[in-house]
Structure 1
Amino acid sequence: MTTPTPTPAAPAPAATGSTAGAFDAYTSAMEKGDTPLLGYLALYSIFEAPILRTDLERWFRELGLDEKFLPGPIREDDAFARVTGPNGVRATYKLTTSPSGKAAQGEKTIAVTLMIRHVGRTGGKITRHVVREVRDEGSSTLSYDTRMAELAWWRDPTESGQPGVGVLQIHPDESAINALSPSEQVKVRSMLRSIEESYKNQCAYFSSDRLRAIVRNYIESLAAVPVRSTGGVYFVHRTHAAPLEPLRKLVSRFGAGSLLTRVPLPEQEEMKDMVIAALTTKAKEDLQRLAGDIATARREGHSEAKVGALYRRFRALQKATAEHSELLSSSLDDTAAALELAGAQISSLLNG
C-alpha cells in the first residue's frame, strides 16, 4: 500500500464585518439556547484509505443515503493516467563522483530525477517512458537518459467490452539500468515497483479525490453555499440539513483522521450576513462564467443544444437565488439584477 497523504483540515471560514463580534454573538446565543437555528456549517477533511466500491454501496444502504451519489466503477485507464501523469510516481536523489558518496574538493554533486514522459498512442496502446534527468548543480546543465523503462498500457486486450479496462506492462531497459551504479540501479528498480503497486492500488481502491467528490456532490445537492473559496466548508440551511448526520458517519469510515463536522449557526443577523456574503460571491462568480460563455456563443456561433445548456444553467442559478432569498428572508438585489441581465442575453440567443 502507498502511504496515505493527508488533506489538511479546513480552517474556519472568515465572516464579513467583525469576525470576533459575529462569533461572540454566536457563543452567547447558543449558550442561552433560545435562538432558532439558521443552519449548519459543514466542514470536511478526507484522508486516503483502501475503500472498495462494495464498501461504499454497503455503507450507503446502512446509513440511508441516496445511492445516486455513489461513484461509477473505477476505470483502469484513469488509474494509468493518474499513476503516470504529472502528479504520478517519480523519484529524486543526489549523487557524487566520490566512491564514498561524499563530495570532496573538486568533485561534483549531481541531482537525478526519475520521471515519466508520454511517448505516443497507437490503436489500443499507450506508451510512456521512464526518463532519467541529470542536473549538474555546479553548472546547472541538464542531460537525459530517455528510456530506463517502457510503460505500455493496452486497452481491453481480451475484448471484454467493459469501459476503461486494460493491462499495464512494464519493460525495464536492462542495458540502460545496468550501466548505472549499483545504488542507482536499486533506485530505478524501486521506482518501477512503485509504479506497479500504485497502479494496482488505483485500480482497486477509490482515491481521496474520488471520496472527496462524493461528499462535495452530496452536500452541494442540499442547496449548500460554499463559504470558503477553496472548498471544504459549506453552509446548509436547516431545511436541508437532515442528510448531514449520516454523511458525517460515512466520512468517519474513510481513512483515519477523515471527518465531517457540523457547526450549528443561530438565526442571528451576524450569521445571516456571513452566509449572504458567501452566497453573493458564489452567485457573482457563476454569473460571470455564464456571461462569458454567452458572449463566446454569440461570437463563435451556437447550436440549439449549446443554447439549451446555457438556459438550464441560467434557470438553475435563478432557482437557487430565489430559494436562498426565501430561506434567509433577505433580498439579494445585486444578484437579482445580474440575473435579469443574463436572462435578457439568453433570450436574445433563443430568439436568434
Structure 2
Amino acid sequence: MTISPPSARRTGISPWEVRQDFDAYTSTMDDDQSPLLGHLVLYSVFAGRVTVDDMKWWFRDLNLDAAFLPAPIRPVDAFDTVTGSRGVRRTYSLGSASATLMIRHVTRDARQVVRHLVREVRDERETRLHYDAGLAECVFLRDKTRGAGPGAGILSIRSDREAIGHLSEVDRRQVYEVLEELEDSFRHHCVYLTADRLRSHIRSYIEALSAIRIHNTRGAYFVHREHARTVMALRALVSRMGDGSRLTPIPLADQQEMREMIITSFTTKAQNDLHKLGMDIALAQREHQSDSEIRKLHRRYQALRTATAEHSSLLRTTLDDTNAALDLVQHQLRVLLTPTT
C-alpha cells in the first residue's frame, strides 16, 4: 500500500539530525575517562494532530520497528473518548449557583451505546444539587453491514428540545454549544490519535528496549547504550507529535554512582514483581487454577529471569538478591506443577 507523505512529516527532527545526535551522544564512549553507560530517557507527549498514516510515514522515515505502530482508530473508541469521564464537560456560572453539563452512561449492547447529557446545578453553599437528566441522547450506532471495520459506526445526537426549552437562555446556549463540541470532538478523534495513545506507544517502545524504570520517578527510564540509535530516532519521532512534545535522552557516564542507581531501580522493581508473582502462585495452589493460568505464571517467571540475566550482563554485576528470590519462586512453581497424589 502506498502512503501519501503527510505534510506533518516535515516538522520535528530529521533523520540527518538523528545521525548527528547519535554520533554526539556516543562520542563519549571513545573517552576512556567517561565511557557512556546509557541514557536516562524522559518524555512528554501532548495532544496534536497526528494520524495513523503520519505515524506510518515517520516510522519508515526514521527506520523504527513497525511492530510498535498504532492500530487504526476505531470510531467506537472515539465515542468513548469524547463521552467518557475525561471527555466533553462544561461548568459555568448561574449567578449565585454553578451548573455543569456532563455525559452519563445509560446502556451498551451489540447494537448501540447510549449516553445522556445531564445538567447538574450546585447552590452557592454547595450543599444542594439539582439535576436535569436526559437533555440529549448521545448514541453510537454500530455499523453491522458486511465489510464494516472493527468498531465502525456513527454518532447520533438527539436533543430533547422541550426539556431544553424550559431552561434559561444562558443554559440553552451552553447546552447547544456542548452538543456542537461533542460532534466536532468526535470527528477529530476519528482522525487523530489521542495523546494517551501516543504516550502508550512510546512507553511500550522504550520498555521493549530492556529499559529500567528509575525508582521513585515518574516516567524516567534507563536505556543501555546499545539502543542509543533507537533512542535518538524516538527523540525525533516525539518531536513531530505536537507542540511541547519531547523525548530527552540524558547521557549517563559509566561510573559507580550511576550503576548503583540503575541496579537499585532494577532490583526494587524485580523484587516487587517477584513478590506479586509468589502471591499469585500461592493463590493458584489454593484455588487449583487451570493449566492455562499456571502457564501464564510460568511465563512471568521466565520473563523475570531473562531480564535479570540480561541486565546482569549489561551492567556487569551479579544481582544476588534477585537471583535468590527467583530461586524461591522457581521452587514455588515446581510445587505447583508437581501432581498431587
Q: TM-score, normalised by structure 1?
A: 0.84
SS in 1 for 2:249: strand
Q: 1:137 and 2:124 equivalent?
A: yes
Q: Distance in 2 between matches of 1:79 and 1:63?
A: 28
Name the structure 2 match of 1:55: 54
Name the structure 2 match of 1:14: none
Q: 1:184 and 2:171 equivalent?
A: yes
Q: Distance in 2 between matches of 1:142 and 1:296?
A: 45
Name the structure 1 match of 2:275: 288
Q: Distance in 2 between matches of 1:140 and 1:341?
A: 56
Name the structure 1 match of 2:91: 92
Deviations 1:105-127 (A, max 9, x none): xxxx2221111111112441111
Matches within 5 A, 1:233-252: 233-252=220-239
Matches within 5 A, 1:40-119: 40-96=39-95, 109-119=96-106
CA contact (8 A) 2:45 2:245 kept: yes
Deviations 1:278-327 (A, max 9, x none): 11121122222222322332233311111111111110100101111121
Structure 1 residues 137 and 230: alpha-carbon distance in aligned structure 2, compared to 1, 3 A threshold: farther
Structure 1 residues 122 and 216: alpha-carbon distance in aligned structure 2, compared to 1, 3 A threshold: closer
Name the structure 1 match of 2:113: 126
Q: 1:327 and 2:326 equivalent?
A: no
Q: Distance in 2 between matches of 1:211 and 1:230?
A: 20
Q: 1:310 and 2:309 equivalent?
A: no
Deviations 1:235-290 (A, max 9, x none): 01112322111111111111012111111111110010111111112112222222
Q: Distance in 2 between matches of 1:207 and 1:188?
A: 25
Name the structure 1 match of 2:5: none
Q: 1:39 and 2:26 equivalent?
A: no
SS in 2 for 1:206: coil
Q: Distance in 2 between matches of 1:121 and 1:344?
A: 46
SS in 1 for 2:50: coil
Displacement of 1:157 in angstroms is 4.3
Displacement of 1:229 in angstroms is 4.7
Higher deviation after alignment, 206-215 or 131-140:
131-140
Q: Distance in 1 between matches of 2:72 and 2:275?
A: 34
When the two chains are superposed, the root-mean-square deviation of aligned CA atoms in Å is: 1.8
Q: Please, which runs of 5 or more residues in structure 1 have no aligned partner?
A: 1-28, 97-108
Equivalent residue letter for 1:339: L
Equivalent residue letter for 1:93: Y
Displacement of 1:328 in angstroms is 1.1
Q: Distance in 1 between matches of 2:332 and 2:268?
A: 21
Higher deviation after alignment, 47-56 or 332-341:
332-341
Higher deviation after alignment, 202-211 or 278-287:
278-287
Q: Please, which runs of 5 or more residues in structure 2 have no aligned partner?
A: 1-27
Name the structure 2 match of 1:164: 151
Alignment counterpart, residue 199 of structure 1, candidates 171, 186, 189: 186
Structure 1 residues 59 and 123: alpha-carbon distance in aligned structure 2, compared to 1, 3 A threshold: closer
Displacement of 1:231 in angstroms is 4.0
Q: Distance in 2 between matches of 1:230 and 1:134?
A: 40
Name the structure 2 match of 1:13: none
Displacement of 1:228 in angstroms is 4.7
Q: Distance in 2 between matches of 1:78 and 1:291?
A: 36
Higher deviation after alignment, 290-299 or 67-76:
290-299
Structure 1 residues 163 and 219: alpha-carbon distance in aligned structure 2, compared to 1, 3 A threshold: same
Q: How many residues align?
A: 311
Displacement of 1:33 in angstroms is 6.9
CA contact (8 A) 1:228 1:234 kept: no
CA contact (8 A) 1:41 1:264 kept: yes
Q: TM-score, normalised by structure 2?
A: 0.87
CA contact (8 A) 1:40 1:262 kept: yes
Structure 1 residues 313 and 78: alpha-carbon distance in aligned structure 2, compared to 1, 3 A threshold: same
Identity level (%): 49
Equivalent residue letter for 1:238: R
